[in-house]
């Protein structure tokens, strides 16, 4: 079955959204481990803070002398995570539309000027999000996860 370009692009956007959620989940678990709290508490803090602030909190506490994770590895992951957040925002917040001619485009404000959408860019951003989520999981593989408090 062949998809039209808009449906194909929508699948790519869905992949980016799914991978973004994976990154958010991993970030909240890294946050919980960084703070020494349960995943449930980490989730509450992260949901209120947002992803960029969650990463900033992780960065701050990674400087503490009794930081429970590998601080060097976490700081390297944070660099990747910052790039991934920028990629996420580019995909999620771009106002996508279909032009009158049926082509997929991203709008540029003001004046609703459009430029052609590059599906490969969305794929690259989605892949970076998943790569970052997996790298975050690797930080935790030896950590003892606290799921309740």
Question: Each residue of 73-117: pLDDT tens digit?
Answer: 999 999 999 999 999 998 888 877 777 776 677 766 555 555 555
Query: How much of the chain, in percent, has pLDDT values that exceed 70?
Result: 83
Beta pairing partners, 98 = 104
Q: What is the chain's mean pLDDT, rounded?
A: 86
Q: Which of 5-19, 23-37, 44-58, 93-107 has the lowest mean pLDDT?
A: 93-107
pTM of the model: 0.84
If we measure between CA atoms, which residue out of 31, 3, 11, 38 comes closest to residue 96? 11
């Amino acid at each position: 079955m062949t998809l039209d370009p808009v449906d194909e692009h929508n699948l790519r956007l869905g992949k980016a959204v799914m991978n973004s959620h994976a990154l958010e989940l991993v970030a909240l678990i890294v946050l919980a481990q960084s703070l020494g709290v349960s995943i449930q508490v980490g989730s509450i803090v992260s949901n209120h803070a947002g992803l960029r602030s969650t990463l900033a909190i992780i960065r701050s506490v990674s400087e503490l002398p009794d930081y429970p994770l590998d601080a060097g590895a976490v700081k390297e992951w944070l660099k990747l995570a910052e790039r991934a957040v920028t990629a996420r925002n580019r995909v999620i917040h771009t106002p996508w539309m279909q032009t009158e001619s049926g082509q997929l485009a991203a709008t540029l404000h003001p004046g609703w000027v459009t430029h052609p959408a590059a599906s490969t860019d969305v794929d690259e951003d989605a892949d970076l999000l998943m790569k970052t989520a997996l790298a975050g999981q690797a930080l935790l593989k030896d950590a003892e996860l606290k799921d309740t408090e």
